Amino acid sequence: MSTVLVWREQFQKLYAKYSFYIIRILQFALGIAVFGMINSNIGFLKIASTSICTIGLALICAFLPLGVMTLIATILILAHMYTLSLGLMLITGVFFLLMYIFYLRFVPVQAWLILLTAVGFACKIPFAIVIGIGLLGTPLYLISAVCGTFTFYMVHIVKISSTSFKGEAAHNLLVMVMKFVKQFFSNKEMILMMVIVIVCGLLVYGLRTRSIDHAWKIATVAGVLTAVALSVIGNVVFNIHIAYPSMLIDGILAIIVGLLFEVLFLSVDYSRTEYLEFEDDEYHYYVKAVPKVAVTAPEKNVKQITGQTNDAKNDEMKSIEQNDKQETTNNYGRNERAEDLLLTRSLNKELGIDDTVKK
């Protein structure tokens, strides 16, 4: 655990230092996923479906706000729809217009969630997206998630029914629009997934904001189990063919995402929980304080040592030994002369021939 926390501290320092480049790379990857998903599913306009166009659009959107990426993705979808059928483009444009009216009314800065949710459904990992939104967001974020679900299934329905819409005459425009609307809103899988997004998102958000120990873990597991249970019920009751292996893989990945988010954004030590009680003139407070787990990343100190050859080291050692011997000899000689001088003076004094005493 301490190793993971050290990695988290190092990642935070790295992000603080290179945040501009990291954000650009993430936006470019999201653009590749979004435009690639659109072109691979409804790539009716051949010029826009090329790899060069996909990479070029992603590169441009990497340096622009995410709202611009959402707008370009909408225009690309409408261009593909126009190539397939004019009536289909008109009804799709109306759906997008209504969706953006409600979207811009509530969460105008969460455009990236629409794109991320659509990509999550395309990659068959919607549970992981919902768990992440419930842990890090608010209930308003679910509006963007529902819009992303709506967009994905609209593209998916056009993909599987493109042959029935292609080449419709102008006088059959109303008939084609009514057929598309009926087919779209009678899609039981889309309705089930919207219910799962709303119910699981609210459940995860409600549990992780409770004052209980390990709230994030409980919220993650409860959200995944609820999503799996609703999917199984939908398969049985509404005869929806959601693959169980992909459902299981998505659930496991969602649990991993929840645990990873807890380490990155919460990481508290419940064993040192404290309960405080105090009051002021207007309120009486009961506070539960849970300390965060903080680990300082170890810093490496590099000590430079000047390299020397063996001969130079040997010469230096010999020089030091010779100096020590010479100093010892000098000290010994000075001590011996001092002792002789004291002995001579003592004998001269006893014999009465002390030079220092003269009459």
The string of pLDDT tens digits covering residues 98-150 is 888 777 666 667 778 889 999 999 999 999 999 999 999 889 889 889 989 99
Give the pLDDT of residue 160: 83
355: Cβ contacts below 8 Å, ≥ 6 apart: 348
Q: What is the pTM of this model?
A: 0.76
| pLDDT value, residue 179 | 78
Residue 208 has a CB neighbour count (10 Å cut-off) of: 24
pLDDT tens-digit series, residues 147-205: 899 999 988 888 887 777 665 555 567 777 787 788 888 889 999 999 999 999 999 99
Residue 8: CB partners within 8 Å, gap ≥ 6? 263, 264, 267, 295
Count how many Cα atoms sit within 13 Å of the Cα of residue 354 in the half-sphere of its side chain: 12
pLDDT confidence bin for 357, thresholds 50/70/90: very low
Burial class of 150 by CB neighbour count within 10 A (0 to 12, 13 to 18, 19+): buried
32-69 tens-digit pLDDT: 999 999 998 888 888 888 999 999 999 999 999 888 89
b/e map of 282-312 (b: 16 or more CB within 10 Å)?
Answer: eeeeeeeebeebeeeeeeeeeeeeeeeeeee
Mean pLDDT, all residues of the chain: 82
Q: Please name the helix (run of DSSP H) or strand (run of DSSP E) that holds residue 337, with its range, or none.
A: helix 310-351
> Other C-beta atoms within 10 Å of 242: how many?
15
Which regions of the chain does DSSP assign to beta strands (E)? Answer: 274-279, 284-289
Provide the sign of the torsion angle of the four alpha carbons 315, 318, 324, 325, taken in this order: negative
